[in-house]
């Protein structure tokens, strides 16, 4: 296969994987929602798919699927006021995880998830405290839930991505 044809094929595959993983993130985020009345937000399991995506396919697909998929879930579930923040926060979360992970070592994958999780928890805390105007005490009510969300996401995302990476052809990864 010629290099140009190979590169074109990879671009099409990456676009398709971005669309599929965006849909998976949207469904995972929408699937389980635990409301947090003080912030009018919710806790979900979408981070498991963001981590799986970013660890498996890297920063571009992880960032795009994380931001778009989570923001679409916000819109779909009636949390549209969070969607712009979610787009940026979850997109950056997926980007960071994909940039740090090396796809070869468990320790590096866990470090990537911790860094991405920190981005998410901090991002929502800052958005709720200062931009949405809830104040720090109210924003703090979501920190524990978001931290649990990261732990559950890591418990699911790290092993799933390890299994998926072993089974995907190099062209797709």
Beta bridge mates, 34: 43
Query: Would you list the domain boundaries of the chain?
Result: 3-167
Residue-level pLDDT at 6: 80
pLDDT in the model for residue 32: 92
Q: What CATH number was assigned to the domain covering residues 3-167? A: 1.10.1760.20
The answer to whether the pTM exceeds 0.85 is: yes
The pLDDT score that the predictor gives to residue 51 is 98
- Contact criterion met (CB below 8 Å) for 105 and 123: no
Q: For residues 149 and 44, give the distance between their C-alpha atoms in angstroms, rounded to a whole number.
A: 7
Cα–Cα distance for residue pair 29/47, rounded to 1 Å: 8
The C-alpha atoms of residue 108 and residue 36 are separated, in whole angstroms, by: 32
pLDDT tens by residue, 41-89: 999 999 999 999 999 999 999 999 999 999 999 999 999 999 999 999 9
What averages of pLDDT result for each successive group of 10 residues across the chain (173 residues)?
Answer: 83 95 98 93 96 97 98 97 98 98 93 98 98 96 96 98 87 60
pLDDT for the residue 1:
62
pLDDT for residue 7: 84
DSSP-assigned states of every residue in 40-88? TEEEESHHHHHHHHHHHH-HHHHHHHHHHHHHHHHHHHT-GGGHHHHHH
Question: For position 5, what pLDDT does the model report?
Answer: 85
What is the helix (H) or strand (E) element at residue 90, kind and residue range? helix 83-100
């Amino acid at each position: 296969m010629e290099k140009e044809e190979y590169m074109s094929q990879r671009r099409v595959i990456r676009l398709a994987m971005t669309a599929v993983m965006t849909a998976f993130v949207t469904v995972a985020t929408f699937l389980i929602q635990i409301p947090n009345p003080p912030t009018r937000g919710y806790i979900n399991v979408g981070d498991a798919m963001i981590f799986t995506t970013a660890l498996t396919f890297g920063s571009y697909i992880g960032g795009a699927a994380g931001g778009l998929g989570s923001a679409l879930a916000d819109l779909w579930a009636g949390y549209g006021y969070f969607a712009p923040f979610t787009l940026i926060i979850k997109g950056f979360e997926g980007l960071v995880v994909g940039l740090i992970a090396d796809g070869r070592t468990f320790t590096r994958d866990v470090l990537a998830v911790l860094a991405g999780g920190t981005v998410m928890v901090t991002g929502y805390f800052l958005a709720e405290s200062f931009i949405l105007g809830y104040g720090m005490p109210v924003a703090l009510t979501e920190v524990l839930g978001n931290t649990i969300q990261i732990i559950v996401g890591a418990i699911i995302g790290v092993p799933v991505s390890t299994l998926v990476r072993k089974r995907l052809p190099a062209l797709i990864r």
